[in-house]
Amino acid sequence: MRLSRFFIPILKENPKEAEIVSHRLMLRAGMIRQQSQGIYSWLPLGKKVLDKVNNIIREEQNRAGAIELSMPTLQSAELWQESGRYDAYGKEMLRIKDRQDRPMLYGPTNEEMITDIFRSSVKSYKDLPLNLYHIQLKFRDEIRPRFGTMRSREFMMKDAYSFDLTREGAEHSYNKMFTAYLRTFDRLGLRAIPMRADTGPIGGNLSHEFIILADTGESEVFCHKDFVNFDIPVENTDFDSVDGLKSIFDKWTSLYAATSEMHDEAAFNAIPEGERLSARGIEVGHIFYFGTKYSEPMGAKVQGPDGKEHFVHMGSYGIGPTRLVPAIIEASHDENGIIWPESVAPFDVVVINMKAGDEACDGTCELIYAALTKAGKDVLYDDTDDRAGTKFATADLIGVPYQIIAGPRAVANGEVEVKDRKTGARETMTIEAAINRFVA
């Protein structure tokens, strides 16, 4: 992508409305734009990152055996009256009427709708276990939307829903998602700590939040300090192994952890003083087991091997991609801007032409840009007329992991500089070596 033909509306000044660094940097880097309170457009640079995040989430959901579908944002109020949540959900739910005066709502979550899909077609235990998910916009009319897309009113969620014949089966489904979440957040370059949690309006009695430590976070974390360093389940984990996944889960729950909502003082105080960790964090995921809370009132049942009908045991599993993007920035930035982990970076590398219009610089940059693009790299080429200082500032701000800098003096020697955004290390090398550095 040539920067001269791309759309990155960079802000030079710090936006006054942004209280935290991720919000400030997302606005300055031209990733998002607020359209009304708590409702955002994702501009091209932001959209590229969001898509990468969603793809990692999708790959790990699929690996764990979940199946993707797509449900609408607008739902009929009737479904929610069946579960009893239409009145219970309160003012956070955006209620709408269609032209026939039928009550509709912009979905804050999809337990009812997925239960309706399930009951309309699944009749036998032989079709279980089943886990269906989608990545879709949600709306919650939060009293205090803030920090940009960190807590917005319209936001994206990956929400998965599992169906099992028995409680034991449902616990295995829960452990599959638990394991998939550990892998997902790790691939996003994050340490997300699983914490026992309150279930709130979703319901149920088994629940974990996944929390990233950050001073600007809205959740409180109390746990053993060893929780911050942990092994991540490997790629070829056997998701069908009940014992294997249970041991991953048990490893976590053997160390005490709880959020402030159900903060168990006695258990926290039982941790030796030097080993306690109390900190703030950002909730990036939340998983629930809630048994038959929806299947009973909505009549979602299957015939079991005993020939009788059983209400299915359900769980739901959420991740917030539009919250994850700022959370990654909170965890990875410096005074010059964002430092993307390679897995979600909007581009793999940026080629900076320090003297656009200079024949040697142009030729060198075009050569590198073409070679890396041909090798399948996603390259941003800064071919604009801006001065070198502006180009360096932009490259640092938008956080592309590597910069290839072509200035007249180096190019005259057949060389360019390669800069690592994270360490700041710069290395001069031949043009060929620079290309091989990324192609090899």
Beta bridge partners of 41: 33
Rounded to the nearest 5 degrees, what angle is found at the Cα of 321, between the Cα atoms of 320 and 322?
A: 95
User: If you search the block for the tokens 């899909």, which residue do you land on?
Assistant: 117
Site for ligand P5A in 350-389 (CB under 6 A): none
Q: Does 316 bind ligand P5A (CB under 6 A)?
A: yes
Q: Which stretch binds ligand P5A (CB under 6 A): 87-95, 280-288, 292-300, 397-405?
A: 280-288
Considering Cα of 60, then 149, then 258, then 344, what sign does the dihedral take? positive
Q: Does 285 bind ligand P5A (CB under 6 A)?
A: yes
Distances (CA, A) of 209 to 212, 310, 332: 10, 29, 21
Q: Which is nearer to ligand P5A, 319 or 416 (CB)?
A: 319
How many residues touch ligand P5A (CB under 6 A)?
21
Q: Does 318 bind ligand P5A (CB under 6 A)?
A: yes
CB of 93 to ligand P5A, least distance (A): 12
Q: Which stretch binds ligand P5A (CB under 6 A): 10-18, 182-190, 219-227, 279-287?
A: 279-287
Residue in the shown chain whose Cβ atom is closest to ligand P5A: 320
SS3 content of the chain, % helix, strand, coil (to 5): 40, 30, 30
Q: Which stretch binds ligand P5A (CB under 6 A): 11-19, 21-29, 153-161, 172-180?
A: 153-161
Tell me which of 40, 125, 155, 249 binds ligand P5A, using CB under 6 A. 155
Tell me which of 286, 301, 310, 333 binds ligand P5A, using CB under 6 A. 286
DSSP 292: T
What type of residue is 67?
I
Considering Cα of 427, then 432, then 434, then 440, what sign does the dihedral take? negative
CB of 419 to ligand P5A, least distance (A): 33
Question: What CA–CA distance (Å, rounded) separates 63 from 351?
Answer: 35
Tell me if 414 sits within 8 A of 429, measured CB to CB.
no
Give Rg (Cα) of the chain.
Answer: 25
Q: Which stretch binds ligand P5A (CB under 6 A): 116-124, 150-158, 176-184, 294-302?
A: 150-158
Q: Which is nearer to ligand P5A, 129 or 320 (CB)?
A: 320
Tell me which of 317, 347, 381, 402 binds ligand P5A, using CB under 6 A. 317
User: If you search the block for the tokens 């929390």, which residue do you land on?
Assistant: 211
Q: Which is nearer to ligand P5A, 152 or 179 (CB)?
A: 152
CB of 315 to ligand P5A, least distance (A): 9
Q: Which is nearer to ligand P5A, 202 or 328 (CB)?
A: 202
Q: Which stretch binds ligand P5A (CB under 6 A): 229-237, 273-281, 317-325, 423-431?
A: 317-325
What would the two tokens of residue 70 be?
Answer: 């797509």
Distances (CA, A) of 245 to 176, 234, 242, 311: 7, 12, 6, 25
Q: Does 347 bind ligand P5A (CB under 6 A)?
A: no
Strand 349-353, strand 379-382: pairing: parallel
CB of 12 to ligand P5A, least distance (A): 28
Tell me if 288 sits within 8 A of 316, measured CB to CB.
yes
Q: Which is nearer to ligand P5A, 202 or 331 (CB)?
A: 202
Strand (E) or helix (H) holding 368: helix 359-374
Question: What CA–CA distance (Å, rounded) separates 20 from 23?
Answer: 6
Q: Which is nearer to ligand P5A, 200 or 363 (CB)?
A: 200
Q: Does 139 bind ligand P5A (CB under 6 A)?
A: no
Q: Which is nearer to ligand P5A, 314 or 406 (CB)?
A: 314
Closest CA to 245 of 68, 63, 67: 63
**Which residues contribute to the site for ligand P5A (CB under 6 A)?**
109, 140, 142, 151-152, 155, 157, 159, 202, 283-286, 288, 316-320, 322-323
